[in-house]
Amino acid sequence: MKTKKLKKELIIGIPLLILIIISLLNMQMVGKFSKMYQSYFLKQTIWFILGILSMLLIMIIKPKRLFKYSKYIYLFNVFLLVLVLFMGKTINGSKAWFDFYFFSFQPSELMKLALALFLAQSLSLENKDLKIIFKALIITLIPSILVFLEPDTGAIIIYFLIMLGAIIVKKINKKWYLFLGLIIIILGGLFSYFYFFNKDLLIRLIGTSFFYRVDRLLNFFNNNSYQLDRALIAIGSSIMIGEKNFIYIPEAPTDFIVALSIKQLGIISFILIILAFLVLDIHFLSTYFKLKEDKGKIFYASFLMMFLFAQIQNMAMNLGLLPIMGLPLPFVSYGGTNIIVYFLFLGVLKKISKN
């Protein structure tokens, strides 16, 4: 039993340690070449320590209690999303951060955990398809609308992926998927009409900042992004082990961490990142299929949808295969709230799998 338990710990611990080391090495190296990133290594180290402590703390709480009080956790995070619209700091055109003297805090990240917990609790109590869809949409739309006002495109997509993971577990009738698909097509058609024929009205409706983000996604195939150009130059000029020089890429430690890592540490770092995530993904998927309790399965599925999408989107956009979206690479990109939230997810997942 002890040997099996140790193996399970190592399956998560070793790939996670690899990702943390790669992240810290990148923060240390980028700080040497750019003054704006000099404090990133120290801050990222603090975030990882706080993340691990948060994981250990949440593991003290029984999953049943977390699900029981998930409504209050969710409502508190909704309150924070409202508050940040009035008191938040604007960074890169998005009013999404509470700025304190030593650190910034992003409530939209914490909502991911709150949303997954509340959806698991709420949907596990329902058996009728219509009620499941209605509840899931209302619970997801409230934070999505608030985040839309910031605006933060990436977070909205993640919220709906968390919702999709929850609905998939409930195994609703296929006709409802067709219905949801039809709604998406209609909304997409309306958006396309305004985008191509009445952009001024569309900008007034959704705001300049959000329009710019959507416009950047839709114009992906024009391939005229300065960020992407710099990232591809960095990747194209890299070697297997890495070289001690630096090519400036906007938002390199966050969105373009893969390109930064390949340039600074070499192609080998990207191979290690892929292998580490592959081990984690296989472990989480195999654990999910062993679960029997409805709440645990819904929560696990929501996490997997978010976790897998974040990996694929971030890596692919660094390579120019998908549109640029402000989604950090889990456990590798710089960012405090994101790191802590992922560690909190790990703590809950661990407790669920034990039970």
Q: Give the list of residues 6+ apart from residue 312 with CB closer than 8 angstroms, or none.
A: 322
Residue 13, exposed/middle/buried by CB under 10 A (0-12, 13-18, 19+)? Answer: exposed
Q: Which of 239, 58, 237 is nearest to 247 (CA)?
A: 237
Q: Check residue 190 and give its pLDDT.
A: 78
For the chain, which ranges sit under pLDDT 70? 1-8, 92-93, 102-103, 202, 205-224, 242-246, 355
CB of 318 closer than 8 Å to CB of 256 = yes
**pLDDT digits 0-9 by tens, 134-180:** 899 999 999 998 988 887 888 889 999 999 999 988 877 777 778 77
Strand residues in the chain grouped as ranges (E): 89-91, 94-99, 104-105
Distance (Å) of CA 45 to CA 57, 105, 278:
18, 16, 24
Q: What is the mean pLDDT of the chain?
A: 85
Q: What is the pLDDT of residue 180?
A: 77
- Can you give the pLDDT at residue 87? 83
Strand order of the β-sheet with 104-105 is 89-91, 94-99, 104-105
pLDDT at 331: 95
Residue of 175, 176, 162 lying closest to 132 (CA atoms): 176
Whether the full predicted model's pTM is greater than 0.85, yes or no, is yes
pLDDT of residue 95: 76
Q: What is residue 21's predicted lDDT score, i.e. its pLDDT?
A: 95
* Residue 98: Cβ-neighbour burial (10 angstroms; 0-12, 13-18, 19+): middle
CA dist 297 and 21 (Å) reads 31
Burial label, 220 (beta-carbon count in 10 A; 0-12, 13-18, 19+): middle
Nearest to 108 by CA among 156, 161, 167: 156
What does the pLDDT read at residue 38? 83
Phi and psi (nearest 5°) for 344?
-65, -40
Helix (H) or strand (E) holding 133: helix 129-148
Please name the residues in contact with 190: beta carbons below 8 A apart, sequence gap of 6 or more.
none
Residue-range domain boundaries for the chain: 1-67+226-355, 69-170, 173-218
- Output the pLDDT for position 130: 81
What SS3 state is found at 149? Answer: coil
- Determine contact, residues 307/134, Cβ cutoff 8 Å: no
Task: Tell me what pLDDT residue 97 has.
Answer: 77
